[in-house]
Structure 1
Amino acid sequence: MLYVIHAYDFTDEQALERRMAVRPNHFDGAKQLKSTGNFVLGGALLDPDGKMIGSMMVVDFEDETGLNQWLQNDPYVTGKVWEKIDVKPFRKADI
């Protein structure tokens, strides 16, 4: 099952610092997801000035249990980078 995730960063003064501090660990996790076939696509959401304000990912998990287990342990969650996370099932257009 594919899921699209829109995750928005906290907006306090230390938010970017927290993001950058755990970013290597987040990338390591994304690489692990890619190696197991769970990572489809992802990247940073930007404001009009190009500042990172969140993330977007498309992930593939067998069920919501696997999705939630990964998500609860992601460094951007445990490191208090993402304040609001919106997860929706996703269907890729076959065109």
Structure 2
Amino acid sequence: MQYVVHAYDYTDEQALDRRMSARPSHLDAVRKLKADGHFITGGALLDDDGRMIGSMVLVDFESEEQLQQWLQNDPYVTGRVWETINVNPFRAVVL
């Protein structure tokens, strides 16, 4: 099952510093997701000035439980980078 994740960062003064501190660990986790066949695509959500304000990730897991296990252990969650996380099932169009 594919899922699209929209995760929005905290907006306090230290939010960007936390994001940048957790970023190397987060990217390592994404590399593992990709190697395990779960990561499809993703990247940073930007504001009008090009500043990172969150993330979008498209993933594939066998169950929502696996998805939640990944989310709860991602460095952007454990490092208090993502404040609001919206997850929706996703189905890609085949043309």
Give how far 1:82 is off: 0.3
Question: Number of residue pairs matched?
Answer: 95
Amino acid aligned to 1:61: F
- Report what 2:34 is aligned to: 34
- Report what 2:60 is aligned to: 60
Amino acid aligned to 2:8: Y
Unaligned runs of 5+ in 2: none
User: Taking structure 1 as the reference length, what is the TM-score of the superposition?
Assistant: 0.99
> What is the aligned-residue RMSD (CA, Å)?
0.3
Cα offsets for 1:25-70 (capped at 9, x unmatched): 0000000000010000000000010000000000000000100001
In 2, the alpha carbon distance for the partners of 1:36 and 1:17 equals 29
Unaligned runs of 5+ in 1: none
In 2, the alpha carbon distance for the partners of 1:24 and 1:82 equals 15
1:19 and 2:19 matched? yes
Amino acid aligned to 1:18: R
User: Taking structure 2 as the reference length, what is the TM-score of the superposition?
Assistant: 0.99
SS in 1 for 2:77: helix
In 2, the alpha carbon distance for the partners of 1:82 and 1:62 equals 24
- Report what 1:76 is aligned to: 76
In 2, the alpha carbon distance for the partners of 1:17 and 1:39 equals 25
SS in 2 for 1:45: strand
